[in-house]
Amino acid sequence: MLNEIINLRTINKQLNYMTKNIMLLLCGILCAQYAFSQNSISLANSNAMASNIEKPMSHDHMAMNHVSMTDVPAAKAVRSADDAAKRVTTMPASWKGVVDKTIALGTLPGLKFDAAAISVKAGSKVKLTFNNKDVMPHNFVLTDIGAGTEVGQLALKLGAKGAEMDYVPSTPKVLEYTSIIDPNKSETIYFNAPSKPGSYPFICSFPGHYIIMKGVITVTQ
Ligand SMILES: [Cu+2]
């Protein structure tokens, strides 16, 4: 009997130890992945800057193309026009300065948005400012009805190219998004609320955050 108890205790200890190790390993992989992709971006940027310096005043077409490419942040170069249209950071001219709904969304420590439930009218003109007050980078991704988890999982599958895509997968299930916002930075996006009433989940798609960092925008008639 005593032997069995001792055995059980040993097994329990080993299990605890294994769980801790697996958690540490997972954290390590996520951090390394993020750091790696951040480094590739800054390398790409510095290479682009270097080639710019070589030919600053040239007017041939190749060089002009080259210069205009460097004007586009490396992080956005990977996007299709459709995906880029889901992150509009200047007010559309057709709005003529009129916004129906202004949303200020922030973050809290512990992978949380500071508002879990937001309500907007169908089709209304929304100005959303995402202000990251946390110590970790986060983003805001509005998804189609019921698609929060699916989009979070697709973001995980982006792997090494995730960072340059702001961890936003290319899918119709993503409706609007901000880029990944560093601590104490913010970004404002403009979009028309969905025309179909319903519950539209929003998440942070930074790897793994979607599991708990989420909320819902309720679109009303
Ligand atoms: Cu996050």
Tens-place pLDDT, residues 80-104: 899 999 999 999 999 999 999 999 9
Residue 207 has pLDDT above 50, yes or no: yes
pLDDT of residue 173: 98
Distance 176 CA to ligand 1 centre (A): 16
- Looking at residues 167-176, what average pLDDT do you find? 98
**Residue 168 shares a structural domain with residue 211:** yes
Distance 154 CA to ligand 1 centre (A): 15
**Residue 98 shares a structural domain with residue 48:** no
Distance 78 CA to ligand 1 centre (A): 21
Distance 209 CA to ligand 1 centre (A): 5
**Residue 31 shares a structural domain with residue 105:** no
Question: What is the pTM (predicted TM-score) of this model?
Answer: 0.67
**Residue 54 shares a structural domain with residue 90:** no
Tens-place pLDDT, residues 108-139: 999 999 999 999 999 999 999 999 999 999 99
Distance 104 CA to ligand 1 centre (A): 17
**Residue 171 shares a structural domain with residue 204:** yes
**Residue 44 shares a structural domain with residue 111:** no
The overall average pLDDT reported for the chain is: 77
Total number of domains in the chain: 2
Three-class SS of the chain: CHHHHHHHHHHHHHHHHHHHHHHHHHHHHHHHHHHHHHHHHHHHHHHHHHHHHHCCCCCCHHHHHHHHHHHCCHHHCCCCHHHHCCCCCCCCHHHCCCCCEEEEEEEECCCEECCCEEEEECCCEEEEEEEECCCCCECCEEECCCCHHHHHHHHHCCHHHCHHHCCCCCCCCEEEECCCECCCEEEEEEEECCCCCEEEEEECCCCCHHHCCEEEEEEEC
Distance 95 CA to ligand 1 centre (A): 30
Distance 197 CA to ligand 1 centre (A): 26
Distance 127 CA to ligand 1 centre (A): 21
- What percent of the chain has a predicted confidence (pLDDT) above 70? 65
**Residue 103 shares a structural domain with residue 65:** no
Q: Which CATH number belongs to the domain containing residue 92 in this structure?
A: 2.60.40.420
Confidence of residue 77 (pLDDT cuts 50, 70, 90): low
pLDDT of residue 101: 98
168 vs 78, which has greater pLDDT?
168
Distance 3 CA to ligand 1 centre (A): 47
Residue 51 has pLDDT above 60, yes or no: no
- What percent of the chain has a predicted confidence (pLDDT) above 90? 64
